[in-house]
Amino acid sequence: MKVAVGSDHAGLSLKAEVIGHLQALGHEVHDVGTHGSESVDYPDFGRQVASMVADGGAERGVLVCGTGQGMAMAANKIPNVRAAVVSDTFSARMAMLHNDARVLCLGERVVGAGLALQLVDAWLGETFEGGRHARRVGKIEGAAPTG
Ligand code: RB5
């Protein structure tokens, strides 16, 4: 799978862990940055990763900042992209199964690396169920209601 990955300065260490993990699993990783510890603005990276997912340049995206929250807010501004902040494996799985959240957002100041990699695995291991869930996510994107 091709996975786009990005972080701000507060997510730099966990991003490196995630990249190493994804590569060890055989995934192709595109790292949009940041690449240094200087303070940067998370929306610049959140929007890049989400845009790659939206235009098909990547199948999934992982974003890391201090809490994951700002990254999710930025990524969710890109049409047809749903980004979920998770810190438990059940939510990570359901974000994919029911919400088709192709962008996962993690908080380096919230979850340890061990849990974060389990969250990535739980989310990557699922595919969208579709059906009634497709109707519901369509409504998020402004599709006309169909029953
Ligand atoms: C940076 O200090 C921090 O605000 C950012 O990483 C993120 O947590 C925002 O949501």
- Which residue from 7, 65, 108 has its CB within 8 A of the most atoms of ligand 1, so it is best to mutate? 65
List, in order of start, the domains of the chain with CATH numbers: 2-140 (3.40.1400.10)
> Before 89, cis peptide (omega within 30)?
no
pLDDT digits (tens, 9 = 90+) for 82-121: 999 999 999 999 999 999 999 999 999 999 999 999 999 9
Question: What is the phi-psi region of residue 68: left when phi exceeds 0, alpha when psi lies from -120 to 50, beta otherwise?
Answer: left
- DSSP structure string for 70-126: HHHHHHTTSTT--EEE-SSHHHHHHHHHTT---EEEEETTTS-HHHHHHHHHHHHT-
Question: Please, what is the average pLDDT of the chain?
Answer: 97
Full-model pTM: 0.97
Active-site amino acid positions: 65, 98
Looking at residue 143, its pLDDT comes to 77
Phi, psi of 40 (to 5 degrees): -135, 175
Does 145 score more than 70 pLDDT? Answer: no
| Buried residues in 23-42 as b, exposed as e (16+ CB within 10 A) | eeeebebbbbbbeeeeebeb
pLDDT digits (tens, 9 = 90+) for 115-140: 999 999 999 999 999 999 999 999 99
Looking at residue 77, its pLDDT comes to 97
Q: State if residue 69 touches ligand 1 by the CB under 6 angstroms criterion.
A: yes
Q: Are 54 and 80 in contact (CB under 8 A)?
A: yes
